[in-house]
C-alpha cells in the first residue's frame, strides 16, 4: 500500500489462465489512523471504568451473600444460640439489607467496610454456632488406649 492508501493486486485464475489487476483504495467513509487511535484510547478508558464497576458489583454481592448466609446459619443454629443472640444478629442483618437498599450507588470501599463491620459483629456469635461441645468424663478412648 502506498502513502495515498492505494494497493495494487494481481489475481490469476490458474484453471482458466485469466488474470486481472485490481486496485484497492482507501475510500471515504473509512476510519483514519487518528480516528482508530482515538477509539483505542476510549476503549482503554472504558475498560478501566468497566473494571471498577465489576469490582463494585462484586463487593456488593459479597456483602449481600454474607448477610443471607448468616441469616441461614441462624435458622440452622437450633438451640446453639440464645434468642437474644439470634435477635441481635437478625437485626444487624436486616439493618445491613436496608443500608444496601438505600445505597445502591455505593463505592467498593463502602461495601467492603460494611462487610467488615458486619463480620466483626457476627463473628463471636457465628463462632458459638460452630463450636463443638467436648464430651465430659471419659466417654471416648484415651490417648494411651489408642496407642
pLDDT digits (tens, 9 = 90+) for 59-69: 999 999 999 99
CA neighbor of 126 nearest in space, from 95, 79, 81:
81
Which segment, 20-29, 40-49, 106-115, 132-141, is predicted with the most confidence on average? 106-115
Angle between helix 83-102 and helix 108-130 axes, rounded to 10 deg: 170
Q: How many CB atoms lie within 10 A of CB 70?
A: 22
In this prediction the pTM is 0.63
Average pLDDT for 96-119 = 96
Distance separating alpha carbons of residues 18 and 12, to the nearest angstrom? 6
Residue 73: C-alpha distances to residues 47, 65, 76 (Å): 38, 12, 5
Does 78 have pLDDT greater than 90?
Answer: no
Q: Contact 70/14 with Cβ under 8 angstroms?
A: no
Could you tell me how many residues make up the chain? 147
Other beta carbons within 10 angstroms of residue 126's beta carbon come to 19
- Residue-level pLDDT at 17: 75
Structure-model confidence comparison of residues 124 and 146, the more confident one = 124
**Distance of alpha carbon 135 from alpha carbon 131, whole angstroms:** 12
Residue 107 in this model has a pLDDT that exceeds 50: yes
Is pLDDT of 144 > 80?
no
Convert the pLDDT of each residue in 4-23 to its tens digit: 666 666 777 777 777 777 77
Q: What angle do CA 119, 121, 126 make, to 5 degrees?
A: 70
Q: Predicted confidence band at 119 (pLDDT cuts at 50, 70, 90)?
A: very high
What ranges do the domains of the chain cover? 52-128
User: What is the CATH topology of the domain spanning 52-128?
Assistant: Substrate Binding Domain Of Dnak; Chain:A; Domain 2 (1.20.1270)
Amino acid at each position: 500500500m502506498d502513502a495515498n492508501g492505494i494497493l495494487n493486486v494481481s489475481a490469476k485464475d490458474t484453471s482458466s489462465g485469466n488474470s486481472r489487476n485490481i486496485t484497492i483504495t482507501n475510500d471515504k467513509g473509512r476510519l483514519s489512523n487518528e480516528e482508530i487511535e482515538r477509539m483505542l484510547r476510549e476503549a482503554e478508558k472504558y475498560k478501566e471504568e468497566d473494571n471498577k464497576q465489576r469490582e463494585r458489583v462484586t463487593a456488593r454481592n459479597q456483602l449481600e451473600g454474607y448477610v443471607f448466609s448468616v441469616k441461614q446459619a441462624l435458622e440452622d443454629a437450633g438451640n446453639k444460640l440464645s434468642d437474644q443472640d439470634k435477635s441481635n444478629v437478625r437485626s444487624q442483618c436486616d439493618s445491613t439489607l436496608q443500608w444496601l437498599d438505600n445505597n445502591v450507588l455505593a463505592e467498593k470501599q463502602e461495601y467492603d467496610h460494611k462487610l467488615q463491620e458486619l463480620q466483626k459483629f457476627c463473628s463471636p456469635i457465628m463462632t458459638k454456632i460452630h463450636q463443638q461441645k467436648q464430651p465430659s468424663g471419659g466417654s471416648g478412648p484415651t490417648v494411651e488406649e489408642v496407642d
